Structure 1
Amino acid sequence: MGSTLKGGDSPEFGSSIIQDVWSCDTLEKAEAFIASPRHASSSNESGQYKIRMQNYVAGSFAAPPSPSMNSETSQSIDAVNPKTGRTFGQVPISSADEVEHVLRAATDAFGAWSTTPAAVRSKHLQRVAQLIQDHRELFAVWESIDQGKTLERARVEVDRAVSNFKSESCYFSTFILHQQTTARVVDGSNILTYEHRSPTGVFALTRPGTCLLAPCLAFGCTAVAKPSEVTSMTAFLLCEVFRRAGLPAGVMNVVFGDGATTGSALVRSPLVRGGVSFTGGTATGIQIRRDTADQIYKHLSLELGGKNPTLVFGDVELDKAVQTAAMAAFENQGEICLCGSRIYVQSSIYDDFVAAFTAYVQANYKCGERVGAVVSHQHYTKIRSYLQLAQSEGATFFSTSTSSGTPEFIPPADPTDGYWIAPVILTDVPPRSRLLQDEIFGPVATVSRFSTEDEAVALANDNPNGLAAVLLTRDGARMRRVGERLEAGLVWVNCWLVRELGTPFGGMKSSGTGREGGEYSRDVFTHARTLHMPLQ
């Protein structure tokens, strides 16, 4: 495994790379930096500079394996800008040995961190949040380059991450100071029984962004995070935030790699004593359950597939319903697990809704403006295959993509200038089509009709997933009546993508297992013990 590097080390590795990247806080600076021929050994086929990301272990960046190591530890994955299709960096595939090295650092740090006063832990988290806020534009720029989203959308997501992290840091640091526990005297005796909570141990976090860092660290656990190999850049920047915030060595560590090698070694390791929190595909979630079946002590929190319905009833205010449904379907080019890509509209307003919805999307969701490129070539190909399926099944297409006034519904098989897919609205989709069952995770929405309330609920629930749902109606009784029947962990009524941190977050059915938020997070990150003591 590689050695650790600190400031002043080789210009190719470690903190020197991060300092170069850290100075690129505008899109112009970042693009010029990527285009520069910095080091021959770090350049791609076009002579452009390649950012070589490194693991963050015990407060330091780790150098890559030496050339004498076996091939498994020297592999890497190209980091590609989806908006251009060109490589700008390398993500190392960390071996099982490297993963164990990182986990030992988290294990060594657990003893001291788990006994650190809550107020001190809170201050560390607040410094992390402040640094992200201070460098908001830096994160937005690299988020846009790494994930293909527009800079405006990246700014929205960075702001939300800062807000959530600050809120969670404040919420959970206060929660652990004022949490209630059970205590009672056993009837007929002088024995006092009371509940005691203690941190569970090292966690493997494979979720995007900062959503679990605050509760994990606030409750006294340490962690190793593995970002997606497709979108690793902002995690690399977060490593520098942890360093600058003075977070104690080993409390928060980041390991880069793919799922088959790095992710599997991480979730299977017995050093992960606390649990695994994963966001991704259902097939991977199933594999994680298999890989950890003999490790009963591990808590599993799995946020998996989402094929979320949006129900539009005939009593809505049409303009507001159209805006909410469009936002839920096409924000971040549909690449949010909580997007409402199955839209069901009551027959009485179906034609009016389709016309207004199509016009609104065509006017407001254009590629390069509010819609970015999809995240990778592989994902582009997947989305394209679903559009080909829609065409073969006779669906009716509405799209914002045109050439010489002619709609282009199926993007080219081999894109030359990035992975751009314009939003597509599909009607007349067959009831049992895979388009209504599979999570496409892109800028594709179906619009179908329903007649009765019972039919709407049946259609919404007719899917193996149950992550989220959107209910649009002005009928207060229906809000509860339908909302409580929808098989989804999160239901938004006349709104979308809002959350209160004390409420449970998680899905039903094949959308995963486990809940987080407030007391639910306490159950994830702490053990509950019952102590029995004589009063005299």
Structure 2
Amino acid sequence: MKDIKHYINGQYVGSVSGKLFDNVNPANGKLISKVHEAGRDEVDAAVKAAKAALRGPWGRMTLEERTSILHRVADGINARFDEFLEAECLDTGKPKSMASHIDIPRGAANFKVFADMIKNVPTESFEMPTPDGTGALNYAVRRPKGVIGVISPWNLPLLLMTWKVGPALACGNTVVVKPSEETPTTTALLGEVMKEAGVPDGVYNVVHGFGGDSAGAFLTEHPQVDGFTFTGETGTGEVIMKAAAKGIRDISLELGGKNAGLVFADCDMDKAIEGTMRSAFANCGQVCLGTERVYVERSIFDEFVGRLKEAAEGLKIGPPDDAEANLGPLVSLKHREKVLSYYQKAVDDGATVVTGGGVPEMPEDLAGGAWVEPTIWTGLPEDSAVITDEIFGPCVHLCPFDTEEEAIELANSLPYGLASAIWSENITRAHRVAGQVEAGIIWVNSWFLRDLRTPFGGSKQSGIGREGGVHSLEFYTEMKNICVKL
């Protein structure tokens, strides 16, 4: 077991304070590694290295040189695919079958996609008359925003971290990344790939630690960081907004949600069951886009409940190396305490537990893991905390509705608006409902179909700004207009 250190200015360095924290495998509760916790000194060094790198070779590179390096970063991740896969699954406990098809391939693709995209971003130019008759030419150029503070989550650690770092670097910025304390390993490992790919020192920096009075707070308070991008809980987003307000720094926030699924009687039942099962239980329910509340038209409600119960009970719970497992543990025992508190709250509020609701029996070598059962409820009132709060576990509440208008009202009843899934074979109705549901991402007869060119983000308290495609590039650049008198 080796310590996980910060990656600052091209070197792995420990903390001056010597403070360490445990990185624990959620599948068995055993120690994976010790992680250095950053203080103000390490964060300051990382930010200063990032600032200096803007004025170094990175800042002077041509677009072709920079994007070529990012392609090498992607190739480097793929060349060490198994190493990244092992690290990600140790940190998260998720099945390798999932991480090998989603997390690691997308982690690499995020560099190539945005490296290619930045080459083809349209710009603007305008000719204008002048009093002397010679005219003038206005043209707009994009320039890097500067040092970007990246605070990434634990549910899809490599994927969501590179979803931010890829476009930030493609645009010519430098970054200081603070990964979740629960999942530090792949972010640290990426430093080796950056070095091998020829990324100049100081362009990619990593500091480990927690939020308040630790690396997260020290990073958001640092006056030389030019912008912040964060994925996580709404409450933490509010704290980052307050910190960014000092100095008027830009922010991009992808925050919490309590996403609704709407299932109409004219749906393809097989597709709706399969899609709802994935949206409720994929990654053990730890997906920001998942649906924890699903409203089903009353005429098919009983059938839907029965079939989803059967599907949930067919899931195989197991550790990452179990090739048949499709449901791993939660990310930590602390998070399991939160999820189980909602399982109990559901019972206290009068829910019918259709299936699950507890902790599964596991073999002795896995008994220390953060395991919970996939759970389905019915019968809760709409003001129950189980309906209103983001739980972030493998659970879903099913409720009947009678009219299209009622379904829309229920979907829009909370102060969140990240995503929704609508199931109906009537494309006219699906289109009409999609336009009225207050969410940034709407799927019709599907879930988690993702094109990286499309806008990604939430409305209301689910976020500020959009990521994906040109929208990422807009956040990571500043537009500059140049007017030339002819």
So what's the TM-score if we normalise by structure 2?
Answer: 0.92
Contact 1:139-1:158 within 8 A present in 2 as well:
no
Tell me the distance in 2 between the aligned counterparts of 1:475 and 1:163: 38
Kindly indicate whether residue 307 of structure 2 is the aligned counterpart of residue 356 of structure 1: yes
Mapping for residues 29-48 of structure 1, pairs under 5 Å = none
Distance (Å, rounded) in 2 between the aligned partners of 1:276 and 1:259: 14
Report if aligned partners of 1:305, 1:465 keep a CA contact under 8 Å in 2: yes
Q: Are 1:108 and 2:52 matched, yes or no?
A: yes
Kindly indicate whether residue 178 of structure 2 is the aligned counterpart of residue 226 of structure 1. yes
Question: Structure 1 residue 518: deviation in Å?
Answer: 2.8
- Contact kept in structure 1, 2:124 and 2:139, CA below 8 Å: yes
Q: Could you tell me how far apart the structure 2 residues matched to 1:332 and 1:187 are?
A: 61
1:144 paired to 2:89: yes
Map of 2:216 onto structure 1: 263
Secondary structure at 1:499's aligned position in 2? coil
List alignment gaps of at least 5 residues for structure 1.
1-48, 66-72, 401-407
- Matched residues in 2 for 1:345 and 1:455: separation? 11
Match of 1:386 in 2: 342
- Residue in 1 that maps onto 2:191: 239
Contact 2:453 2:470 survives alignment (8 Å): yes
| Matched residue, 1:195 | 140
Cα separation, 1, equivalents of 2:187 and 2:11: 14
SS at match of 2:12: strand
Residue aligning to 1:280: 232
How do residues 488-507 of structure 1 correspond to structure 2 at under 5 angstroms?
488-507=439-458
Q: What is aligned with 2:168?
A: 216
Kindly indicate whether residue 45 of structure 2 is the aligned counterpart of residue 98 of structure 1.
Answer: no
Amino acid at match of 1:138: E
Unaligned regions of 5+ residues in structure 2, if any? 320-324
How much has 1:154 moved relative to structure 2? 2.0
User: Once the 2 structures are TM-superposed, how far is the Cα of residue 344 of structure 1 from its aligned partner?
Assistant: 0.9
Distance between the aligned counterparts of 1:143 and 1:385, measured in 2?
A: 27
Q: How does 1:131-530 map to 2 (within 5 A)?
A: 131-162=76-107, 164-176=109-121, 179-186=122-129, 190-207=135-152, 208-209=157-158, 210-260=162-212, 261-273=214-226, 275-296=227-248, 298-368=249-319, 369-399=325-355, 409=358, 416-530=367-481
Give the conservation status (yes or no) of the 8 Å contact 2:71–2:112: no
Tell me if structure 2 keeps the 8 A contact 1:313–1:345: yes
| C-alpha contact (below 8 Å) 1:133/1:162 kept by paired residues | no
Distance 1:471 1:167, change over 3 A: farther
SS in 2 for 1:52: coil
> CA 1:517 to 1:409, structure 2 compared with 1: closer, same or farther past 3 Å?
closer
| CA–CA distance in structure 1, aligned partners of residues 51 and 19 of structure 2 | 26
Alpha-carbon distance between aligned partners in 2 of 1:385 and 1:186, rounded to the nearest angstrom: 68
**Distance 1:356-1:187 versus aligned 2 partners, 3 A rule:** farther
Q: Is the 8 A contact 2:75 2:108 kept in 1?
A: no
Q: Tell me how far 1:365 sits from its aligned partner.
A: 4.7
Answer whether contact 2:229 2:252 (CA < 8 A) is retained: yes
Count residues in correspondence: 466
What amino acid does structure 2 have at the position aligned with 1:254? V
Partners of 1:519 and 1:183 lie apart in 2 by: 21
Answering whether residue 70 of structure 2 is matched by residue 125 of structure 1, we say: yes
Residue 521 of structure 1: how far off its partner (Å)? 2.0
SS at the partner of 2:163?
Answer: coil
Relative to the length of structure 1, the TM-score reads 0.84
Residue identity over aligned pairs, in percent, reads: 36
SS of equivalent to 1:285: helix
Aligned in 2, Cα 1:365/1:431: closer, same or farther, shift over 3 Å? farther
For 1:164, the aligned partner's letter is: A
Q: 1:304-338: per-residue Cα shift (whole Å, max 9, x none)?
A: 10211111111111111100110111110001111
Question: Mean alpha-carbon deviation: is it higher for 100-109 or for 208-217?
Answer: 208-217
Conserved? CA contact 1:102–1:224, under 8 Å: yes
State the SS of the aligned residue for 1:250: coil
* Alpha-carbon distance between aligned partners in 1 of 2:244 and 2:301, rounded to the nearest angstrom: 47
Is the contact made by 2:281 and 2:374 (CA closer than 8 Å) also made in structure 1? yes
- 1:44 corresponds to which residue? none
Aligned residue for 2:322? none
State the Cα distance separating 1:388 from its structure 2 match: 0.5
Shift of 1:533: 2.1
Question: Aligned partners of 2:383 and 2:97: how far apart in 1?
Answer: 37
C-alpha distance after superposition, 1:245-286 (max 9, x if no partner): 12111111111111111111111111112x100111111111
Counterpart CA distance in 1 for 2:372 and 2:130 is 67
CA separation in 1, counterparts of 2:434 and 2:394?
26
Distance 1:114 1:352 in 2: 60
**Residue in 2 that maps onto 1:75:** 19
Matched position secondary structure for 2:368: coil
Give the ranges of 4+ consecutive aligned residues of structure 1 lying more than 6 Å apart after TM superposition.
Answer: none
Structure 2 letter corresponding to 1:74? G
